[in-house]
Amino acid sequence: MITGEGKARVVEREAEQGRDEQAVADFVERFAAELASAGMGRMPSRLFSCLMAEESGVLTSAELSERLRISPAAVSGGMRYLIQIGLAAKEREPGSRRDRYRVLNDVWFESLTRRDEYLLRWVRVLRDGEATVGAGTVAGARLGESAAFFAFMVDELHGMLARWRVHREGLGPGALPGAGAGAGSDPA
């Protein structure tokens, strides 16, 4: 439950930002439900959605805990997962010992950029597996086709990301909220 002091901060934030915090909270839960239905854990989904909806893209553990009405342990575990898969970063709050969590402005680009590393490792392992079980066997053919599929995906992913960079440049300043505001990474 949000304390009196916490409610005052919510009302203050709402007035400053001119947004309906209940509508934002509803969005966070809707987006989290979509992420969870795609296979992400419920708690990491809620944490990621909350960070995505935050104007600065940065919140402390206490702020996440308060907004989502969850324990600090739930924040810690969920954020550990999000950091591991590259959807969030942990940083030290300036002048403090408190950690804060950040979602990068171009999080999807960054996430997909890192995926090719995994896919390339899978290609190598699958090709080794094909040779191990025998290229002329049914299992070898299955492993070889899987390796070929992931190699194709890596090539397509590189092309798609290059096209996104060009497309994003064409959107111009102001078309992407927060672009150039220093609240995330630059995709170039």
- Reduce the DSSP state of residue 89 to 3 states and report it: strand
Residue 16: what pLDDT? 58
- pTM, two decimals, is 0.71
Residue 13: which residues within 8 A CB-CB, separation 6 or more? Answer: 21
Q: How big, in percent rounded to 5, are the helix, strand and coil portions of the chain?
A: 65, 5, 30
Residue 96: what pLDDT? 83
**pLDDT by 10-residue block (mean), the chain, 188 residues:** 51 64 95 96 97 95 96 96 92 85 86 84 96 95 97 93 90 60 39
The one-letter code for the residue type at 71 is S
Residue 174: what pLDDT? 62
Which residue in 4, 21, 23 sits closest to 13, CA to CA? Answer: 21
The one-letter code for the residue type at 106 is D
Residue 9: what pLDDT? 57
